């Protein structure tokens, strides 16, 4: 397999600026305050570096309160604390390292590889790029599974605008093996794939769709968004209603090929059951946070088993 050259990522440049700005601010703060107030110097630096953990804690508290009315099993405070801790560690790796500085690593495959198994299309979520999937790419390469990925940009545009990017990725995956690919999606990426799929002819374009923490029926946090794709993730919004209507018109069982991972400690998508679909293979992963869930050993192992099993055309 050979690799496909990668185009630029506006989001990567934005996150580079944020990461450099935060670290630079911490250094300047320490330099200014250390000679006179070492305590203030340390406290200020910690605020710069760990402010994201405070935001994540607020999200977890809100999620815990909202989930009390959800049919999914209720998580206790220890589970929420564990989810917060794992997310606090994973988030900087994703948003301050992999996506801004490492997103070009492990380029997509593009050379026909025969029909040993279906190719994988990796579709990231909100304010992410292909760098999100680097741990998955390492596993896919180690197991000889070809993959392609997308950068869903503009980052704050309509989810409908991503159709052409997903179509291009699916076509590239089809050319590699000649088989319908498996789509693995995180968060908003699952909605982007559903929107694309709802406008396809009835014939089978994909072998399966795996969604991880996707707000299929919206998320409470969508109420706070002021950007287009964020508003499209508000529960009961016109965009979600129209999407479901197109899906039902296209097929009587539109979610039969979906595997939906969801968590009762998801700090972004809540209530928890909004990440499920009727008729799909809905799998609860208890105690996992939103970003960390994508790299959970159970999610990765079971998803890879599904990928390996897709060895023949449907």
Q: Look up the CATH number of the domain holding residue 126.
A: 3.40.50.1820
Report residue 145's pLDDT band, with 50, 70 and 90 as the boundaries: very high
Q: From CA 233, how far away is CA 250, in angstroms rounded?
A: 22
Residue 117 confidence (pLDDT) above 90: no
The mean pLDDT value of the chain amounts to: 93
Domain assignment of residue 308, given as a range: 1-314
What is the share, in percent, of the chain residues with pLDDT greater than 70? 96
Asked whether 235 and 217 are in contact (CB, 8 A), the reply is yes
**Euclidean distance between CA atoms 112 and 109, whole angstroms:** 9
- Supply 272's token pair: 């928890």
**Beta strand residue intervals within the chain, DSSP E:** 3-4, 108-109, 120-123, 147-149, 182-186, 208-212, 258-262, 281-284
Q: What is the distance between the alpha carbons of residues 183 and 207, in angstroms, rounded to a whole number? A: 8
The answer to whether the CB of 1 falls within 8 A of the CB of 141 is: no
Read off the pLDDT of each residue in 153-173 and give the average, rounded to a whole number: 97
Average pLDDT over residues 140-148: 95
Per-residue pLDDT reduced to its tens digit, 76-88: 999 999 999 999 9
Q: Alpha-carbon distance 43 to 54, whole Å?
A: 14
The model's pTM is 0.94
Calculate mean pLDDT across residues 208-230.
97
Lowest mean pLDDT among 28-37, 123-132, 192-201: 28-37
Q: How many domains does the chain have?
A: 1
Q: What is the rounded distance in angstroms from the CA atom of residue 197 to the CA atom of residue 207?
A: 12
Task: Name every residue whose Cβ is closer than 8 Å to that of residue 252 and which is 6 or more positions away in sequence.
Answer: none
Segment 165-186 shows an average pLDDT of: 96
């Amino acid at each position: 397999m050979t690799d496909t050259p990668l185009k630029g990522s506006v989001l990567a440049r934005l996150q580079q600026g944020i990461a450099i700005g935060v670290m630079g601010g911490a250094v300047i703060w320490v330099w200014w305050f250390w000679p006179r107030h070492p305590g203030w110097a340390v406290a200020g630096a910690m605020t710069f570096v760990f402010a994201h953990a405070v935001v994540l804690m607020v999200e977890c508290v809100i999620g815990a309160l909202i989930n009390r009315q959800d049919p999914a099993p209720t998580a206790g405070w220890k589970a929420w604390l564990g989810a917060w801790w794992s997310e606090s560690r994973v988030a900087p790796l994703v948003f301050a390292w992999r996506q801004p500085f490492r997103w070009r690593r492990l380029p997509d495959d593009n050379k026909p590889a025969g029909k040993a198994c279906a190719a994988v299309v990796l579709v990231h979520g909100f304010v992410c790029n292909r760098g999100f999937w680097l741990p998955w790419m390492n596993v896919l390469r180690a197991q000889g599974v070809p993959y392609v990925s997308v950068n869903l940009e503009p980052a704050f545009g309509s989810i409908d605008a991503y159709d052409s990017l997903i179509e291009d990725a699916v076509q590239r995956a089809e050319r590699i093996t000649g088989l319908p690919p498996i789509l693995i999606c995180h968060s908003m990426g699952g909605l982007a794939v559903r929107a694309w799929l709802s406008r396809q002819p009835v014939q089978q374009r994909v072998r399966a769709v795996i969604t991880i923490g996707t707000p299929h029926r919206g998320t409470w946090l969508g109420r706070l968004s002021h950007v287009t794709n964020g508003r499209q993730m508000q529960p009961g919004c016109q965009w979600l209603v129209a999407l479901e209507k197109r899906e039902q018109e296209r097929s009587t069982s539109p979610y039969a090929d979906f595997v939906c991972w969801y968590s009762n400690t998801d700090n972004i998508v809540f209530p928890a059951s909004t990440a499920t679909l009727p008729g799909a293979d809905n799998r609860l992963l208890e105690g996992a946070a939103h970003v960390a869930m994508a790299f959970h050993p159970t999610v990765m192992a079971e998803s890879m088993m599904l990928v390996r099993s897709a060895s023949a055309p449907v």
